[in-house]
Amino acid sequence: MSSADRLTVAVCTRNRPELLARCLAALQQLDPRPDAIVVADQSDADEARQCRTLCEQSRSPEGVLVRYLPVAPRGTGYSHQEVVAVVDDDLLAFTDDDCRPWPGWVGALEDAFARHPDAGAVTGPARPDPELQDDLPAWVSTWGGDEEEIFRSPTDPRTVGGGFNMAFRRQALDTIGGFDELLGAGTVVHGAEDFDVLHRLLRAGMQVVYVPAAVVSHLPPRDAVQQRRHEYLYAIGLGAWAAKGWQEGDGFPGRCLRKTACRNLYYVVRRGLFEGPSGMWHRLNVARHMVIGWWRGRRIFAARSSS
């Protein structure tokens, strides 16, 4: 089988061997299965040994080969780019260690690429895990609509896809230079490597296709405290992505940031009036973290430009 006929799934992980084990078990049960699995691991020493052992033990006699890829620098942008550098296959799908792809995930991605030869990337939704029984609200684990959508021009990346569920043609990634290693969880800006790569694909004139059949679930679902922390980190990433755009003369990320800030201001007023100080202070903290992200992004991307 040539590399043009193959799809590799990459899982990014750090210090969460228990979640990685569940993710790998789900990947081995896909129908159809991927042609290969790469675990890009940024764990500390003890957890790294556990993750390596999991990769070695994951493959059943009929299962998919799991390749262990240690990645020293921190950050999902760097981790994603390391996968791009070592995998030759034409299609690369990415998910995270806290995700469980549904059985038809790979088949839905491959079908979308086959039906849309001009697509540089395919994304899919997050849905609550039907195997978990809990009292958490469904919105915590839900993202994405029920209809297929084709994006052909720069669009607010929150409506396009996320790093938990995205796949690319290698040629498309090579065209735009792959992932930005200064962005992503584990860096000082905590995110936005997924927003950035999808935006640059669209800016380069390529299509991104959202397919509702390519489903993953997050494991475990976030509680309210975890969800708030995630929103703060997301806000930092969004601010940094806008700063990168400003540094590079691309105004679109900044417009997305302003739109989000205005909507956040609306919620500040609404929650201050109707939901009390707790909700209001949360939205103010979101705004504060956007500013933090902007200044951190200004610093790191200005430094890169001058080097």
Element (H, E) at 68: strand 66-70
Q: Distance between CA 191 and CA 227 in Å, rounded?
A: 15
Q: Which two tokens stand for residue 196?
A: 């950035």
> Percent of the chain at pLDDT above 70?
91
Q: What values do phi and psi take at 52, rounded to 5?
A: -60, -45
Give pTM, 2 decimals.
Answer: 0.93
Q: Distance between CA 238 and CA 184 in Å, rounded?
A: 11
Q: Which two tokens stand for residue 262?
A: 């205005």
Residue-wise pLDDT tens digits, 40-82: 999 999 999 999 999 998 876 678 889 999 999 899 999 999 9
Residue-wise pLDDT tens digits, 237-295: 999 999 999 999 999 999 999 999 998 888 777 766 665 666 678 888 999 999 999 99
Q: What values do phi and psi take at 290, rounded to 5?
A: -60, -45
